[in-house]
Amino acid sequence: MIEKIISGGQTGVDRAALDVAIELKIPHGGWCPKERLSESGTIPFHYSLQETETSDYSERTKLNIRDSDGTLIIVPKLPVDVTDGTILTIQEVQDKRKPYYLFDLSGKEDLSSISVWLKKNNIRILNVAGPRESQSPGIYNRCYELLKKILG
């Protein structure tokens, strides 16, 4: 079903998605800021990401939404416990009328709800977004396990 996973390469949710794609041998990619900028420094080159024209994080967010069939936005808990970048993602998918699913990691939702959403919207190229590790410590590990269960 999923032919490609894309993200912006930031620490946290983005990197978890890319690492699961690599482990499961699902093609991956996406846009990242110029000079592969992230909060931890340069995004490692084993991630197949294209650099945007600028170092503005919002540019890569918009391009990844544009280039995907839908966006899975993973948050620590609902009501929405998000940061500026995640808020921008939510606003952008709504503005562009692109399919998106806001998943609550706190355990209130069944994992199968993501699979249902993927099938219902015929998602082939999946953009995965959410908070960076510094804004939600432990989110990388939680997302990695979640995505491995869903996509594995």
Write out the chain's pLDDT in tens, 152 residues: 899 999 999 999 999 999 999 999 999 999 999 999 999 999 999 999 999 999 999 999 999 999 999 999 999 887 665 667 788 899 999 999 999 999 999 887 788 999 999 999 999 999 999 999 998 899 999 999 999 999 98
| Domain of residue 47, residue span | 4-151
pTM of the shown model: 0.95
- 93 DSSP assignment: H
Burial 44-78 (b: 16+ CB within 10 A, else e): eeebebebbeeeebebbbbbbbeebbbbbbbbbee
Number of domains in the chain: 1
Instruction: Assess contact for 127 and 6: CB atoms under 8 A.
Output: yes
**Cβ atoms of 93 and 65 closer than 8 Å:** yes
The DSSP call for residue 76 is: S
Q: Report the C-alpha gap between 100 and 73 in whole angstroms.
A: 7
What CATH number is given to the structural domain containing 18?
3.40.50.450
What pLDDT does residue 79 have? 63
